Structure 1
Amino acid sequence: RHMGAQEIEIYLTHLAARAKVAASTQNQALNALLFLYKYVLHKPLDDPIHALRAKRRKPIPVVLSQREAQRLLDSMQGQNQLMAQLLYGSGLRVSECLRLRVKDLDFDQKQIVVRDGKGAKDRITMLPLSLIQPIQLHLRHVRAIHQGDLRKSMGEVYLPHALERKYPNISREWIWQWVFPSRNFSTDPRSGRLRRHHRAPSTLRRAIRAAAKIAAIQKHVTPHTLRHSFATHLLENGYDIRTVQELLGHRDLKT
């Protein structure tokens, strides 16, 4: 209670200089102390905190070779394999893949429309020819599930940007359904309705980790690794960096 900004500065500097903690850990400590003083001790700190800040490390992206990527995908099966193939073949983020709706797939143009990507931007990326038939076969199965849901007076999905209020009947239409729906219904916290949401990202992450072990890949492989590998392999195959930037949805060439 008797300590103030000066003591907090000393402690935070110790975390950065001696304990060598990550920047996120130091920020968490600062936020916890600010909360303690303001809401528990009722002594908000008015003086600015001038502590030595921990440096943010920029990790080098993990990239698979083309052979490693193929071994990884060959070690997977079912929907998880198809989702991983999309991450690698289209450069999708895992959230973008899971949020795909039927209408976002353009088989004739061999394109995927990514809606509301990072930065709330839409973009178009490639749909590999090799994935068209597997996705179409997968959608036949998904459509059968959807038709079964409709017979149970279910089958509606969450719609973005108040579309549900404007068009109350389209939430059950086929084109708005998730490409990768979950196996079970769950309660939508936004509306309280029982719906079939899209699959959870944790399922795909676990499947990719398991596949990396099976394929004996000695790297830390995550879903985002496939996106990095997509970009790297396009550049290796002669694509210009501006095109790759647009496919990834990056504002800055440096990223």
Structure 2
Amino acid sequence: MPKQSHRSPKLLDQVRERIRLKHYSIRTEKTYLAWIRRFILFHDKKHPKDMGKPEVETFLTHLAVDRHVAASTQNQALNAVLFLYKEVLGTELPWMEDVVRVKRPARIPEVLSSSEVARLLTQLDGTYRLMASLLYGSGLRLMEAVRLRVKDVDFDYRQIVVRDAKGAKDRVTPLPASIAETLKRQIDRVAAQHRRDSVAGYGCVYLPTALAAKYPNAQTELAWQYAFPSSRLSTDPRSGVTRRHHLSEKGLQHAVKGAVKRAGINKKASCHTLRHSFATHLLERGNDIRTVQELLGHKSVQTTMIYTHVLKLGGRGVVSPLDS
């Protein structure tokens, strides 16, 4: 009779199990595992239980001083390592006051003019044009547009409900009347594709674990399908279930980047630039800053205030002495 193995799971397997137990996204899982692996390799594969505050501070300082990472990247690495110690090793690390922290530069966001937005959109076709129109017309973040579900598009009230956005908050934002009919046709195509998938035995869609448990039949309903589904079926690396996921965000990013170039726009513009432009143009038209804050889903109005600085740039805030 073969002996049963009583070896405990490897450290990264323990991290993966803990992340899934807490229902973190697969993107977070991949990111945390990558940073924890880098932390261990940086210290010559020393086990984290034999390290602590000094080693974590050294690693984070190395990222700032030697690797010149952005502030958000350093914070991401810190969150991953803190998760390892608190959730897997059961250790609370003390406050790390000796870390060289990357300073977050105070930059004015890149914004397109209304005519530049129009030129950019004319360089896009089909689904990507519709999605880019939502980024600008509704102020959506890239992943908010990509993950949009059929049920969260409200044509009667002409609004879009953004679920579980940054900060785990929901918010409501306007659905532009100019693209409502195009979006209806897109959802009709989603419905037809969903019927074909259901007949073929692939009519399920991914739902977060808690939602899947609460609404066991929801994953097969049209309402929960992605408004912008992938053209291909794929197998979920966690569950092994084959189903239709949403479009890759990289495709939209690439399409917008190409459109910026073809439109002859000499600015460092991206998908997020369309959201910046949404906010700036609303303020430009006299909308209240608190309203814009709610539409963007900002926790603090101070975050939204950055767009008032955009309005004061160039010839908008002062009159050039050359023109006097």
With the shorter chain as reference, the TM-score category is 0.7 to 0.9
Choose which of 175, 184, 187 in structure 1 pairs with 2:223.
Answer: 175
Q: 1:226 maps to what in 2?
A: 274
Question: CA 1:20/1:189 → structure 2, altered by over 3 Å: closer, same or farther?
Answer: closer
User: How far 1:108 sits from its partner (Å)?
Assistant: 0.7
Deviations 1:40-68 (A, max 9, x none): xxxxxx9x774654433233211000000
Q: 1:130 maps to what in 2?
A: 178
Deviations 1:67-103 (A, max 9, x none): 0011001110010000000000000001111111111
User: How far 1:166 sits from its partner (Å)?
Assistant: 3.2
User: Which amino acid in 1 is paired with 2:139?
Assistant: G
User: Which amino acid in 2 is paired with 1:106?
Assistant: D
Three-state SS of the structure 2 residue aligned to 1:131 is: helix
Q: 2:123 maps to what in 1?
A: 75
Q: 2:151 maps to what in 1?
A: 103
Question: CA 1:50/1:239 → structure 2, altered by over 3 Å: closer, same or farther?
Answer: same
1:22 and 1:170 mapped to 2: Cα distance? 41
- If asked which structure has higher relative contact order (CA below 8 Å, sep 6+), I would say 1
1:171 and 1:25 mapped to 2: Cα distance? 34
User: Which amino acid in 2 is paired with 1:110?
Assistant: R
1:171 and 1:58 mapped to 2: Cα distance? 43
Q: 1:141 maps to what in 2?
A: 189
Three-state SS of the structure 2 residue aligned to 1:185 is: strand
Q: 1:204 maps to what in 2?
A: 252
* Structure 1 residue ranges without an equivalent (≥5): 35-45
2:70 and 2:148 mapped to 1: Cα distance? 34
2:132 and 2:301 mapped to 1: Cα distance? 25
1:214 and 1:23 mapped to 2: Cα distance? 30
Q: 2:30 maps to what in 1?
A: none
Deviations 1:108-133 (A, max 9, x none): 10010000000000010100111110
User: Which amino acid in 2 is paired with 1:82?
Assistant: L
Three-state SS of the structure 1 residue aligned to 2:256 is: helix
Over the matched positions of the two proteins, sequence identity in percent amounts to 50
1:111 and 1:190 mapped to 2: Cα distance? 33
CA contact (8 A) 1:111 1:125 kept: yes
User: How far 1:171 sits from its partner (Å)?
Assistant: 1.0
User: Which amino acid in 2 is paired with 1:135?
Assistant: L
Following TM superposition, the consecutive aligned residue runs of length 4 or more in structure 1 with deviations greater than 3 angstroms are 19-28, 48-54
User: How far 1:212 sits from its partner (Å)?
Assistant: 0.2
Q: 2:288 maps to what in 1?
A: 240
Three-state SS of the structure 2 residue aligned to 1:197 is: strand
User: Which amino acid in 2 is paired with 1:122?
Assistant: D
User: Which amino acid in 2 is paired with 1:84?
Assistant: A
CA contact (8 A) 1:182 1:200 kept: yes
Count of aligned positions: 233
Question: CA 1:249/1:171 → structure 2, altered by over 3 Å: closer, same or farther?
Answer: same
2:180 and 2:212 mapped to 1: Cα distance? 30
RMSD: 3.0
Provide the TM-score with structure 1 as the length reference: 0.82
User: How far 1:206 sits from its partner (Å)?
Assistant: 0.2
User: Which amino acid in 1 is paired with 2:290?
Assistant: R
Provide the TM-score with structure 2 as the length reference: 0.65
User: How far 1:165 sits from its partner (Å)?
Assistant: 2.6
1:167 and 1:187 mapped to 2: Cα distance? 22
CA contact (8 A) 2:71 2:103 kept: no
Question: CA 1:187/1:134 → structure 2, altered by over 3 Å: closer, same or farther?
Answer: same
Q: 1:166 maps to what in 2?
A: 214
